[in-house]
Structure 1
Amino acid sequence: MDKNLKIYFASDQHFGAPNPEESFIREKKFVNWLDEVKKDADAIFLLGDLFDFWFEYKTVVPKGFIRVLGKLAEIRDTGIPVYFFVGNHDLWMQDYFEKELNIPVYHDNVEFIFNNKLFLIGHGDGKGPGDLGYKRMKKVFTNSFSKWIFRWLHPDIGVRLAQYLSVKNKLISGAEDVKFLGEENEWLVQYAKRKLESKHYDYFIFGHRHLPMIIDVGDNSKYVNLGDWIGYFTYGVFDGENFELKKFEELPK
């Protein structure tokens, strides 16, 4: 039992959107957050949509994001574990993070145990009831033949097309109006409650909804959504006993 744990969680940075100039400002803020949490972090979890679009060709990855990638490499080189879960915007991630940054990449929910607390962690897209249009579209996007076809597009064409669709098409992006829908209409809340019918989890940690919230879903069980780094700049921290959502406020320089 370690009561001095510091495990950090963040999600939905969407770097690259809505344009390089605005994204750059948010990227620098996120890098400053990484600089802060690395001082006492036992682990850092990134729960998807770090990029608004990401596709790995065999020899090419999207241009940009050098500051956040460099900072993650620096953190890993110090020995701090970093875990990455793909979101619906970067679901075409393959092994670049694993080979270049030594960061494991997960494509679905994974269980972790910290201080005898069982966590179920993932991005959250396509889970729970509803959202059938996105679930069908995700099957198309993750199909090996679809990825093979897209890979034949020149990166200048493929990346530009995907970035356009990501921003403009709500069905493809998985975006929706960011409003609390009530517990009975929040798909991830319903998903957590159904999971509890067969197994106890102390915490369900997800992103995707862009709303920071902690909701009791059962006896000693909480659903957490981490918010985003577009309007909220929120993150989660587990200290070995409790989980909190916090907002990153940069100190004046």
Structure 2
Amino acid sequence: MKKIYFASDQHFGAPTQELSLPREKKFVAWLDEVKEDAEAIFLLGDLFDFWFEYKTVVPKGFVRVLGKLAEIRDSGIPIYFFVGNHDLWMNDYFEKELNIPVYHDNKEFTFNGKTFLIGHGDGKGPGDKGYKRMKKVFTNPFSKWLFRWLHPDLGVGLAQYLSVKNKLISGDEDIKFLGEDKEWLILYAKRKLETKHYNYFIFGHRHLPMIRSVGENSEYVNLGDWIGYLTYGVFDGEKFELLEYKK
């Protein structure tokens, strides 16, 4: 089989559009490379540092990456997008404009006999109660309705500022390995294994590239990010690897 690629947490637009642009160009170059042997591409959220879809408006910028995703999808390669905590207000723009399905929670996949549970990872497992409460507010239809009444120049500007400054919103206040007994996504994976077996749990959100055994023939993978690590995952049908994009 061809390869299946995974990437997460690009946070394009942060801390500014200008400083984000070199990372966006690297990511587009990576997409150009992997499309040559990709069976599918999974993007696990926080592609943008902020995203909100008004009825007729989306945030300015990101033309290169959106155009490349459209090109790859038009070539017949499936792309799957999972919303993260920074782009959780995504609706149907990707589906209508790019023909890319958008998922708001974990989803199971099977590739070459291997089972995967895939998602962004925010709000899963024990703890992180402050963020979980805030997520309930953000995803409430009434909250989205209120925000939609703000002029985009005001609403998007305010949200981008808070996205960078507020660590509770970003969910990245602990970007260091906490130990397996405190890493809530590892604990979440082990709890899921009590009721069903998965070969791989693939998540983003933590910004820490790692592969950890969580059970017999079962691994938890965090994809890292495209800010400090430029890491991505690849499954060749037999094994899963984390690699760094160095170009």
TM-score, normalised on structure 1? 0.97
Residue equivalent to 1:223: 220
Of 82, 97, 118, 1:85 maps to 82
How far apart, in 2, do the equivalents of 1:37 and 1:172 lie? Answer: 32
1:159 lines up with 2:159 in the alignment: no
Larger deviation, residues 176-185 vs 78-87: 176-185
Alignment of 1:40-119 (within 5 A): 40-119=37-116
Q: Report the Cα distance in structure 2 between the residues aligned to 1:9 and 1:153, rounded to whole angstroms.
A: 35
State yes or no: 1:32 paired with 2:32: no
TM-score of the aligned structures, taking structure 2 as reference length: 0.99
Shift of residue 36 of structure 1?
0.3
* Offset at residue 22 of structure 1 (A): 1.1
Distance of 2:172 and 2:206 partners within structure 1: 8
Identical counterparts, % of pairs: 83
The answer for the alignment partner of 1:213 in structure 2 is 210
| Structure 1 consecutive aligned stretches of length 4 or more whose deviation exceeds 6 Å | none
Q: Offset at 1:177?
A: 3.1
CA distance in 1, matches of 2:86, 2:121: 12
Secondary structure at 1:129 match in 2: coil
Secondary structure of the residue aligned to 1:45 is strand
Given candidates 7, 20, 23, the residue that maps to 1:10 is 7
For residues 148-207 of structure 1, the C-alpha deviation after alignment (integer angstroms, 9 at most, x for no partner) is: 000000000000000010000111121213111111110000000000000000000000
Instruction: Name the counterpart of 1:200.
Output: 197
Shift of 1:212: 0.3
The one-letter code of the counterpart of 2:240 is F
What CA deviation, in whole Å up to 9, does each residue of 1:66-109 have, x standing for no partner?
A: 00000000000100000000000000000000000000000000
1:20 Cα deviation from its structure 2 partner: 1.1
Rounded Cα–Cα distance in structure 1 between residues aligned with 2:127 and 2:41:
30
**How large is the RMSD of aligned CA atoms in angstroms?**
0.5
1:168 to 2:157 alignment:
no
Deviation at 1:231, TM superposition (A): 0.5
Separation (CA, whole Å) in 2 of partners of 1:114 and 1:128: 25
String of CA shifts for 1:119-174, please: whole Å, max 9, x gaps.
00000000000000000000000000000000000000000000010000111121
Equivalent position SS for 2:115: strand
Q: Which runs of no fewer than 5 residues in structure 1 stay unpaired?
A: none
Q: CA deviation at 1:33?
A: 0.2
SS at match of 2:27: helix
Q: What is the Cα deviation at residue 45 of structure 1?
A: 0.1
